């Protein structure tokens, strides 16, 4: 069993695009009151707002590459400075490079914290492109759907909030998904060995039902949040 950190829980979800990191982070947020912190969401907000960081990130994101460590770290450090993160965080899509992992450790060390668990969502690469290319979400509440795997019960209406506007990410197409998978294997997958060597790695088979995966993750997180 892993050592439990003294401060708020800091959990990492690792896995390729389409593995379900965002879906599972949202469920953990609801169940444990932790804060989902997605660098992809923060970057998309920066792009939409037209900030300097957003302008630097836009074309890289559209091509499925990784935004520079400096840009991502600046955005993450700002978000980590907000008071709500004291509840504990689930990092979704961060760290993605060895440099980001080191910088995260340094950032946490300033407040006597460390990573409590890094949970790797294990999936079949082959299935990921199809998962990513068909996904969309409710523009009002963010509930996620998939054209084939999880359509809305009533066409055009969100099951959760009744909203009727939906959105698709610009980078959720087959070509960009392949580039994102490549970036994952080249730069992010090595972090699995890194967190294993620190004794904080957990792995979950993430090809099954969302609820089964959530139950497995919940048991790891319950240990961290005591
Ligand atoms: P995501 O929403 O996690 O799939 O991220 C969407 C895109 O944002 C990625 O394909 C990258 O271009 C960029 N991105 C998100 N998080 C990071 C990160 N930690 N490091 C570098 N680029 C990132």
Ligand 1 binding pocket mutation candidate from 19, 38, 47, 61 (most atoms within 8 A of CB): 61
Task: For residue 171, give Cα distances in angstroms to 60, 63, 179.
Answer: 10, 8, 10
pLDDT digit string, tens, across residues 66-98: 999 999 999 999 999 999 998 899 999 999 999
pLDDT of residue 225: 76
Give the residue, by CA position, lying nearest to ligand 1 atom 1.
40
Give the residue, by CA position, lying nearest to ligand 1 atom 19.
94
> Tokens 């829980």 appear where?
9
State yes or no: is 86 an active-site residue: no
Give the residue, by CA position, lying nearest to ligand 1 atom 12.
61
State yes or no: is 79 an active-site residue: no
State yes or no: is 135 an active-site residue: yes
Mean pLDDT of 101-126: 93
């Amino acid at each position: 069993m892993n050592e439990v950190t003294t401060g708020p829980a800091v959990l990492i979800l690792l896995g390729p695009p389409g593995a379900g990191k965002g879906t599972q982070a949202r469920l953990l947020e609801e169940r444990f009151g932790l804060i989902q912190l997605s660098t992809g969401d923060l970057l998309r907000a920066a792009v939409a707002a037209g900030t300097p960081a957003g302008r630097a990130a836009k074309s890289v994101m559209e091509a499925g590459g990784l935004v520079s460590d400096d840009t991502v770290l600046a955005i993450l450090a700002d978000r980590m400075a907000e008071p709500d993160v004291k509840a504990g965080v689930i990092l979704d899509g961060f760290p993605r490079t060895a440099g980001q992992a080191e910088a995260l450790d340094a950032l946490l060390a300033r407040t006597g914290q460390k990573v409590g668990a890094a949970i790797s969502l294990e999936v079949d690469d082959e299935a990921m492109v199809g998962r990513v290319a068909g996904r969309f979400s409710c523009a009002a509440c963010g509930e996620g759907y998939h054209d084939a795997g999880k359509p809305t019960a009533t066409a055009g209406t969100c099951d959760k909030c009744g909203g009727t506007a939906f959105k698709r990410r610009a980078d959720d197409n087959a070509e960009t998904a392949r580039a994102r998978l490549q970036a994952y294997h080249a730069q992010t997958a090595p972090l699995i060995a890194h967190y294993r060597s620190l004794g904080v790695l957990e792995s979950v088979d993430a090809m099954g039902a969302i609820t089964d995966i959530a139950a497995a993750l919940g048991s790891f997180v319950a240990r961290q949040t005591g």
